[in-house]
Chain A
Amino acid sequence: MSQLQPYVDRKVTVVMGDGRVVVGTLRGLDQTTNIIMQGCQERVFSEDEGVEVVDLGLYLVRGDNIALIGLMDEEADAAIDLDNLKAAPLPAVRH
């Protein structure tokens, strides 16, 4: 059925239309890519300091605002030193 079904109950990174990056556990979705994520954390990237992690909790995101959903490799993610990772925030989607 849905291409996203195998991602349910897995840890995912969602890139939003405005460039925000949110990490959480995918709990549900529908055919228009509306999604429900649990235990969300936003990762705020900046060029001057490391990545700031902000707790958000439960999120329901409308499909229109989703650019990409990535299945996370949790081992690889744990190996990343977020405190010293500096990068410009992702640009917003321009249709």
Chain B
Amino acid sequence: MLFYSFFKTQVGQQVTVELKNDLAIQGVLESVDQFLNIKLRDIHVVDPERYPHMLSIKNCFIRGSVVRYVQLSPSTVDTALLQDAARREAQSTQQMNQAKPNVAQA
């Protein structure tokens, strides 16, 4: 859930999404869902000479399962806050596993 919450804070930012078919698409992050499916608007492909397949597309939906990287602008990310949130999430997962040890083994 942490990354879902994190990507929600990035809505409205310019991002570059690299897909597992090597296509890289730049656009404004419009929305994200629980599967980390991503919607972008005002998109352009990073190498249009090589990939003219999507010339008439301005808005798109990218399935979360085909995303390899999401490139973000460093100025939009508070890494200290993110690190802290990751630590807290790890801690709460650990506590949950201690409360139900059988589930953790399974």
Q: Which residues of A contact B (CB under 8 A)?
A: 3-4, 7, 13, 15, 17, 19, 21, 33, 43, 45, 63-64, 66-74, 76-77, 80, 85, 87-88, 90-95
A93 to chain B, nearest CB (A): 5
Q: Is the CB of B21 within 8 A of A77?
A: no
Assembly CA distance A73 to B43 (angstroms):
12
Q: Which residues of B contact A (CB under 8 A)?
A: 19-23, 25, 31, 33, 37, 39, 43, 50-63, 65-66
Q: Is the CB of A73 within 8 A of B54?
A: no
Known: A67-B21, A93-B19. A72 touches B63 (CB 8 A): no
Q: Is the CB of B22 within 8 A of A91?
A: yes
